[in-house]
Amino acid sequence: MELNSQIKTALAGADKKILLMTHIVLGYPSLDINRQVIAQMAANGVDLIEMQIPFSEPMADGPVIVKANQQAIENGITVRGCLDFAREMTTTHAIPFLFMTYYNILFKFGVEKFLREAKEINIKGFIIPDLPPEEGEEFFVLADKYGIAPIMIFAPTSTAARMQELSRFGRGFIYCAARKGVTGKQTDFDGEFNDYLGRCRANTGLPLAVGFGISRKEDVDYLTGKADIAVIGTKTINLVEEKGIAAVGPFIAGLR
């Protein structure tokens, strides 16, 4: 089943007014801890998981995730290790998994080779923040060939025309960055944000995921009815660092 259909099916459930997507950095602190954290997430109601393949210059990420990328690389994580781990996770857990990374990872590996293997692994989508449609013809053609959803990103600075253009290339859902800047900082929900989310909804027919600074039940409650997916990233990394793996499950369970 394609990602868009999976999202719509999940939203049609009587108990799901908004979906939860979480983010982990593969290899940080280790793949074994990733494995345990994903199990906690899946068991406590996460609907999608975004697995980040570490990159040396993660331009869209804030300090917590940048540090996690750097540490994972220093620990010896490889693209092959990420692919093998992803295969294990998609086999173990019956929820959609996506890859998030930067284009140089695919370019060096071989774009078609990477997408072909991602399809075999049952990866449902890709989030590549540094690949605009104007520079990604090969990727978008191959993503369509292998049935993997390219997730496009709207920003508060995106015009209506730009949103419509991005939506034309997107599949699965649109990732709406809740504010300008990088991940990690708390987002203020105000009239300006509501106007932005209204523009997002008006300029695509795809489901909307909102990320950047989503960290509390209050945030998820606020987004319910306005967006389709709430994305939690930096918060879970901090939680594992500060309170350990066992804190992840109760945190996720308490978000909705």
According to DSSP, the residues that pair with 229 across neighbouring strands are: 19, 209
Q: Between the CA of residue 244 and those of 73, 85, 98, 148, 174, what are the distances in Å?
A: 21, 21, 24, 33, 32
Which one is catalytic: 47, 61, 219, 228? 61
Q: How close are the terminal C-alpha atoms of the chain, in Å?
A: 26
Q: How many CB atoms are located within 10 Å of the residue 161 CB?
A: 9
Would residue 218 show up in a list of annotated catalytic residues for this protein?
no
Q: Which amino acid is at 178?
A: A
3-state helix, strand, coil in the chain (%, to 5): 50, 15, 35
According to DSSP, the residues that pair with 25 across neighbouring strands are: 52
Residues 239 and 255: their CA atoms lie apart, in Å, by: 14
3-state secondary structure of 78: coil
Q: Which amino acid is at 195?
A: D
Would residue 165 show up in a list of annotated catalytic residues for this protein?
no
Which one is catalytic: 50, 57, 138, 228? 50
Residues 186 and 127: their CA atoms lie apart, in Å, by: 21
Return the active site residues: 50, 61
